A and B are shown apart, each in its own frame.
Chain A
Amino acid sequence: MSTRIAGLGWVTPLGSNMEDVWQKLRAGEEAEASSLGEGPGEKQAWAFRVAPDFIAEAARHPRLRRSSAISRFAVVAGLAALRDAGLELDAAAAARTALVFAISNGGVIYTKRFFHEIVKLGAQAASPLLFPETVFNAPASHLAAILGITGASYTLVGDGAVGVLALQMAEDLMANPELDRCLVVGAEEVDWLLCDAYRRWRLLRAQPPIEPFAQPAHGTVLSEGAGAVVLGRTGAVALERIHPGGNFSRQRELVRHLDEIGRELAAKGPTDVLLASANGTFVDAAEKSMAARHFPEATIYTAKPSLGESVAAGGIWQVICAAQALRRRELPPLLGVPSDFGLTSRKSDWTRAVVTVCGMNQQVAALSLRV
């Protein structure tokens, strides 16, 4: 029995309503970057933030009273995906639901606050209220509690590829006939500390725009939010194939992995849409080369100029955009690409999409969707 996409939800810097955000992307809107203030790293950090209004629903849940932003994003996106799937989980349905959570940087805001007190004041000042929220699986725990999930709940950590790896785990879990569905959520929050780290790693641009596929690469801009996908037994879009990819420590290994991924996924049939992870960094050139070689007919899209680079959430956003493209047979305009960028077509009777996720810390994976 094939695994299908039954519901989608997201919290993004452009909003948290699936249709509203999609229309904004179609209109070519870009989220507005805001300054995160200056850390001791002396450079000002800019990122795409989620407005409090977009997650107002989180205030209804007492469990989130002390939680970090990342948990709120995750809960709002997860609940939206379940609503999109037409599901309200009672105890029996929750028992047949698994949760797989993808995360990269995790609860960086509370982690920084917790450690800051240790550094400045000493171990005796460490807060027992903050520490539990620093744990990678705290957001998944809050979401599971709110949904009443008492069975499988896994948090996966990784780089930008972790969203697809989480979908791979979810698909494996769905081999268990006792499960009806799996909710896959990717979430991140931003902080100046994160921006400082990515800047020192030479992956960050001081301010927008993100210019995908530009040569030389100018760097990316971080963002925050969450994406959620309900995998089930029914739904218009099928998860055709997940390619778990591999690990790379050099650019040439990334190129080799992408070539293998491209060859394998292209062999399964014509690809109409390619959702790339291009974000203005070193991954863009490798993806462009793979696209030209294996998916020359595909329309290429990345939402990162509009939504920013949100790592674990970003990978799920890509899958959401691919599913939306197949559901709606339309894609928003690709922003910020060089004028000579020739990898787009205007065919619209789309039936198949490929998503590639190239992380910035050694992991790469991909998947294909089909209607």
Chain B
Amino acid sequence: MPDSLKTQSPTQFARVAVVAAGMVSPLGRGLSETLASLRTARDCVSRVTRFSVERCRCTTAGQVADSWLEDALPNDRKSRRLHRVSRMVIQALRELREQAPEFRPELTVVGTTSGGMSFGERYYRALQGPNARARKIPEWIANYPPQKPMVDALEACGLESPCQVIANACASGTNAIGVAFECIRSGRYERILTGGYDALAELVFVGFDSLQASTPDKCRPFDGARSGLVLGEGAALLALENLATAEARGAEILGEVVGYGLSTDNHHLTQPHPSGIGPRQAMERALASAQLEARAVDYINAHGTATPFNDAAEGRAIAELFHRVPVSSTKGMMGHSLGAAGAIEAVITLLALRHGFLPANINFRAPDPELALDIVANAPRATAPRVALSNSFGFGGTNASIALAARA
């Protein structure tokens, strides 16, 4: 990128490369299917099939087909016990390992919000009914903890690595990538596996419904008549490595993580400060971390949940910080996958940087007159972005933004 867009001369910090990635989401299984869905702006949201939504306002979500996960594991007893979110993580890790079989992480930092929550739900339902002695209860309990899917995936792929599992609500995935980035940039680590995962769970689905944060309509990020989010699920993993080391061994570089910013907005447990100060600080800090001017940013993959408050706060912050930068939220296509969202959207952003397009913000009908944004409305836009931000904001006032750069 031109030096004129950098705020300072390069420092002694290590540069951080993405050397491999893997994902499964409602957009498809693997990077190729994901890319195809993004290029066609496919709407992958459908009626929820995993549990009853009869008494919910919202009845749709982005869902990962079980058939996509069938070959994630052998059909043995131990594998059959695993939660489907473990299968998603295994699927993502397998894809990543195909690209970088030699990648051995010193540390794993991932994000989630609820891990194998539906096993906890089954256990509780069993206790409340005639199946309080159900034989499967110990299995459900053992496979319910949120760290379990990552531990399962490492084991399934023959990798050993300590795991830090961040549960910062919807910002978890971006936080995980940011922490991993800073660990390598500081020189303390060479290789870190990072990402995020979450599977649809009734408790969470009903929780968002009870808050009226989810919508009975389509998810329409930044639309003037937006009415809420739809949930999603999936897993995405990224292999981060010191760029110099990766180049020395001839690794293929998918892109670079160049900055990370976070903020904590103490306004309310579930709502952002209406001024947008939380998102604004996170993006400002990501730019400062990347030593970049705002005008260096070619695209923002917004958090864009389509709730009136969230999009207003984020949109306001983007409009204040950037001059008509193209913005899209990909949640209209695949739903909001909570702890996985930041990781999935980071991979989507990398695909956009690598393949020269901006993903579409689908279901967009009319702009919000309060938000002066350049929305990539309804169809992908062909261009050659060099630097992009990916935002995630969550309950508890956690705000995170990472800056990604195309490989020059």
Contact = CB atoms under 8 A, between A and B. Distances in A.
B307 to A, nearest CB: 14
A115 B209 contact: no
Most buried by B among A42, A118, A144: A118
Nearest to B168: A137
A132 B395 contact: yes
A157 B147 contact: yes
A175 interface: yes
B35 interface: no
B393 interface: no
Interface in A144-196: 144-145, 148-159, 162, 165, 168-169, 172-173, 175-176, 193, 196
B266 A148 contact: yes
A40 B160 contact: no
Interface in A44-97: none
A175 B188 contact: yes
Contacts, number: 192
B163 A118 contact: no
B157 to A, nearest CB: 12
A136 B141 contact: no
Contacts of A42: 132
A247 interface: yes
Interface in A23-48: 39-42
Interface string B350-381: 00000000000000000000000000000000
Nearest to B262: A152
A3 interface: no
Contacts of B161: 246-247
Interface stretch (A120-128, A262-270, A279-287, A343-351): A120-128
Contact of B107 (A127, A136, A244): A244
A249 B155 contact: yes
Contacts of B397: 141, 144-145
A159 B206 CA distance: 27
Interface stretch (B25-33, B67-75, B175-183, B236-244): B175-183
B112 interface: yes
Interface string B207-231: 1111110000000000000000000
B313 to A, nearest CB: 15
A300 interface: no
B328 to A, nearest CB: 27
A123 B206 contact: yes
B137 interface: yes
B141 A201 contact: yes
A316 interface: no
Q: What range describes how many residues of A lie at the interface?
A: 35 or more
Contacts of A197: 123, 141
A124 B55 contact: yes
B206 A118 contact: yes
Nearest to A66: B269
B65 interface: no
Contacts of A134: 203, 207
A124 B52 CA distance: 12
B167 A136 contact: yes
Given A128-B210, A247-B155, A138 B141 contact: no
B269 A141 contact: yes
B281 interface: yes
B55 A154 contact: no
Given A124-B55, A150-B281, A201-B138, A155 B207 contact: no
Interface stretch (A5-13, A321-329, A333-341, A360-368): A360-368
A115 B127 CA distance: 12
A200 interface: yes
B9 to A, nearest CB: 18
B209 A126 contact: yes
B132 A41 contact: yes
A209 interface: no
Contacts of B209: 123, 126
A103 interface: yes
A247 B164 CA distance: 11
A144 B183 CA distance: 23
B266 A119 contact: no
Interface string B313-345: 000000000000000000000000000000000
A362 B142 CA distance: 10
A232 B350 CA distance: 37
Contacts of A230: none
Given A157-B165, A247-B160, A112 B264 contact: no
Given A120-B128, A123-B53, A196-B127, A137 B398 contact: yes
B84 interface: no
Contacts of B163: 158, 165, 247, 363
Nearest to B107: A244
Contact of A144 (B142, B210, B266): B266
A131 B207 contact: yes
B168 A159 contact: no
A245 interface: yes
Contacts of B121: 115
A39 B127 contact: yes
Contacts of B396: 135, 137-138, 140-141, 144, 153, 155
A118 B210 CA distance: 11
Contacts of B148: 361-362
Contacts of A131: 207-208, 210-211
Interface in B31-83: 52-56
B147 A361 contact: yes
A154 B113 contact: no
A363 B121 CA distance: 24
A114 B208 CA distance: 12
Contact of B124 (A115, A149, A159): A115
A216 B178 CA distance: 45
Nearest to B155: A249
A240 B164 CA distance: 20
B255 to A, nearest CB: 23
A111 interface: yes
A156 B266 contact: no
Contacts of B183: 172
Given A132-B211, A157-B147, 8 more contacts: A131-B208, A135-B269, A136-B167, A144-B266, A150-B263, A157-B145, A362-B147, A363-B147
Interface of A: 39-42, 103-104, 111-112, 114-116, 118-120, 122-124, 126-128, 131-138, 140-142, 144-145, 148-159, 162, 165, 168-169, 172-173, 175-176, 193, 196-197, 200-202, 244-247, 249, 361-363, 365
5 contacts: A133-B269, A135-B167, A141-B264, A172-B183, A246-B162
Interface of B: 52-56, 107, 112-113, 115, 121, 123-125, 127-128, 132, 137-138, 141-142, 145-148, 151, 154-155, 160-169, 175, 179, 182-183, 186, 188, 202-203, 206-212, 262-266, 269-270, 281, 394-398
The 7 residue pairs across chains A and B that have the minimum distance between CB atoms: A141-B396, A244-B162, A136-B167, A131-B207, A145-B266, A126-B210, A123-B55
